Chain A
């Protein structure tokens, strides 16, 4: 079974600074997807960024980028120019590309605080 580990329960960053959230995962599969989701106090899970395992190029979405290290099974999220609205819980998630299931396996999350 696949597992996802987020080793930082809490992180803080100053507004306009850069922060990196860590995520490692364990799988025996070669083809899969990795995600970062944001959950603000409104509780709605919002997709931040997605990475396909077969792509070597790291995904980027505006101020959000990932460092995907397939051999190390590492998938960190970098937030540049942090804004107050970035404060939220961040979850790393894994999804197999086999079998057609859309099941996500989530890490325990990292609570990000942005200080003005």
Chain B
């Protein structure tokens, strides 16, 4: 069974641009969550989606948004990029409410904002 797939692996943008990151969960997983990882702040929760609905949101500005599609794939969007948005963005999927509910992570998208 394929794992969580995140694309692209690396991305370079300039300040003020916007970016869209993609996450394909493990087949059969309907829950997707996103995390931002930086050297200074560590791992911080962005949001989680289940059945195309946002279930929880972290403490990030409105420039950070996301969505989930009917096939459970998820995208997150960051508008008006700032230098501080440079980070590794990790996606995780789970079966939510079924079985052991373990979270499985992808390898992330490394975003660099210049």
Which B residues lie within 8 Å of A50 (CB)?
A: 100, 102
Q: Is the CB of A102 within 8 A of B31?
A: yes
With known contacts A43-B108, A45-B92, A103-B56, A109–B42 Cβ distance under 8 A: yes
Chain A interface residue count, CB cutoff 8 Å, equals 19
Q: Once the chains are docked, how many angstroms separate the CA of A104 from the CA of B110?
A: 20
Task: Give the residue of A44, A105, A108 whose beta carbon is less than 8 angstroms from that of B105.
Answer: A44
Chain B interface residue count, CB cutoff 8 Å, equals 28
Q: Once the chains are docked, how many angstroms separate the CA of A44 from the CA of B107?
A: 4
Q: Once the chains are docked, how many angstroms separate the CA of A47 from the CA of B45?
A: 17
Question: B96 on the interface (CB 8 Å rule)?
Answer: yes
* Most chain B CB neighbours (cut-off 10 Å) among A43, A100, A104, A107: A43
- What does DSSP make chain B's interface, helix, strand, loop or mixed? strand
Task: Give the residue of A91, A101, A105, A108 whose beta carbon is less than 8 angstroms from that of B55.
Answer: A101
Q: Scoring B residues 86 to 114 as 1 if CB is less than 8 Å from chain A, else 0, what string do you get?
A: 00101010101100111111111010000
Closest A residue, CB atoms, query B94: A102
With known contacts A50-B102, A102-B33, A104-B103, A43–B88 Cβ distance under 8 A: yes
Closest B residue, CB atoms, query A99: B56
Question: A98 on the interface (CB 8 Å rule)?
Answer: no
Question: B75 on the interface (CB 8 Å rule)?
Answer: no
Task: Give the residue of B3, B56, B103, B107 whose beta carbon is less than 8 angstroms from that of A43.
Answer: B107
Other than the given A47-B102, A101-B55, A106-B35, 10 more pairs (CB < 8 A) read A43-B90, A45-B90, A100-B97, A101-B48, A101-B56, A102-B96, A102-B103, A104-B35, A104-B45, A106-B43
A interface residues (Cβ-Cβ under 8 A, vs B) = 37, 42-47, 50, 91, 100-109
B interface residues (Cβ-Cβ under 8 A, vs A) = 3, 31, 33, 35, 42-45, 48, 55-56, 58, 88, 90, 92, 94, 96-97, 100-108, 110
